[in-house]
Amino acid sequence: MNKRTAGISLLLCTALMAAGCSNTANTKETQNASNVSGTQAPAASGQASSEAANYENGLPKNEKVTLMIGLLESGYGREWFDLAVKRFTEKYPNVQFDITASPKIGDLISTKASAGNDNDMFDLFYGATWTEYVNANKLEPVTDIFKMSPDDAPGRKLNDLIVPGFNDPEKYYKDNAWVFPIANYVGGMFFDQKLFDENGWNKNPKTYDEFIQLCEAIKSKGIDPIVYAGLYNYAQFAFDTKIFEIADERGNKQFRNDFEYYNGPQYTSPESIEVYKRLHDMGKQGYISKKSVGMNHTQSQMLVLQHKAAMVPSGDWIENEMKDTAPDGFQWGYMAVPFTNNPNGPIYVTNGLSYSFEIWAAKPDLNKKWAKQFLLSLMSNEIQQVLVEKGGALPLRKDYLDDQTRADQMKPLQKSIATYLKDNPVVLELKNRKIELTDPDNMASLKVIVDNMALVLTGQEDPEPILADAEKLLQNAIAKDKKAQNKA
């Protein structure tokens, strides 16, 4: 990640990850079976009346379709996408792709959407904005794709193959999924696997008590168990979702609805207070280094590289971010921090989409059906493998590691994260809200948290007065925005 501000949020991190590093101008191209695979697309034949008129997916063979694509050129590259188009047009030669690719495709998507010309709008495009499109009835639901079976897993629904957390009906907006995931980032604790192995430290604590025992074992060696970027509140990457674990453990089934709609206290909810009390206690016990106060992300991460601290909260970009300074033999590993003492979880993990697609609703039904078939094809393990190996993404298929060859070719941190997600009862938590707050008091409340939490987490300040100050500002914003949106 290249830019950080004091008010950094998970959504900002997602945007920065997705922005990538390309500066190429918009490019347009049309791809079909002839110009992607090098073979001539077969002409429609009306001679054999006995030949089936439809493909096995039920869509017609003899109706040509061109899908207009708005593709983000990002740090993931596009080898995965070009291979997907090649494979798709080989199998379905009646489908063509009209691709516009740009690192700033979001601006063009916004312009086209605002223009109101549905014919000129993309059929399928990189997903950044979606709630306002859904509220305006501009997006097509993608819910039914999760009920389909990828070609390489006949008889198995995508919903059963995808990593948990990416299709959760309880988190649907207006009873549907609207954004189809392609790549994501995962937050948590990052550490040197070699250091942990040498000391016999637990790399996969299953409960909160086991994690505290790990911190005590590290501290006994004279090493700070945890250090983090207090300047930017990077602790959020490991602890921001723990409120959901506390709510689950206490049986608070109303918690998610209250969170999504800003009902009742937020910073001062019993779940939030419990999380911050535990973190404050960890600081008082010396498990969170006082060096964290005023540190930025690279400074805190450098202490882990130097073995002056054992763990640092961050996102899965950390391996690439620190690659030029990592010493020989250093091997990044990953764990989440369980806040429950139920060894069967669930463990809520900070997560964000760094690449996704949306389908424009005001397109012909046949176009939308083919767009969904193409999105389904992106979930084949062949395409996932290119995205993982060439783009550095994490696999979204649970069965990706079942193939030992694929597993062996993953980078150490990728494999560590994928293994953790597979072996633990993880919920990837996006923390989506269903009401947007625009009042300045919302950002002011966040600033209270960011400016003061380093002192709380290092055991130097009581969390409750700070949470109360932030809550007052947040409730002002909620009241004004709900009134403006007639949702009070």
Type of residue numbered 390: K
pLDDT of residue 180: 96
Rg (CA), the chain: 24
- Structural contact between residues 102 and 50, judged by C-beta atoms closer than 8 angstroms: no
**Per the omega criterion (within 30 degrees of 0), is the bond before 465 cis?**
no
102 forms bridges with which residues in the sheet?
72
pLDDT of residue 23: 42
Exposure string of 198-218, with b = 16+ CB inside 10 Å and e = fewer, is eeebeebbbbbeebbebbebb
pLDDT of residue 11: 37
Domains and CATH numbers, the chain: 10-47+55-184+352-423 (3.40.190.10), 186-351 (3.40.190.10)
- Structural contact between residues 347 and 422, judged by C-beta atoms closer than 8 angstroms: no
Residue 325: count of CB within 10 angstroms of its CB = 12
Per-residue tokens: 363: 């397109």
Type of residue numbered 459: G
pLDDT of residue 247: 97
pLDDT of residue 10: 36
pLDDT lower than 70: segments of the chain: 1-51, 484-488
pLDDT of residue 422: 87
Q: Which of 373, 355, 382 is nearest to 80 (CA)?
A: 382
Q: Which of 274, 307, 290, 301 is nearest to 208 (CA)?
A: 274
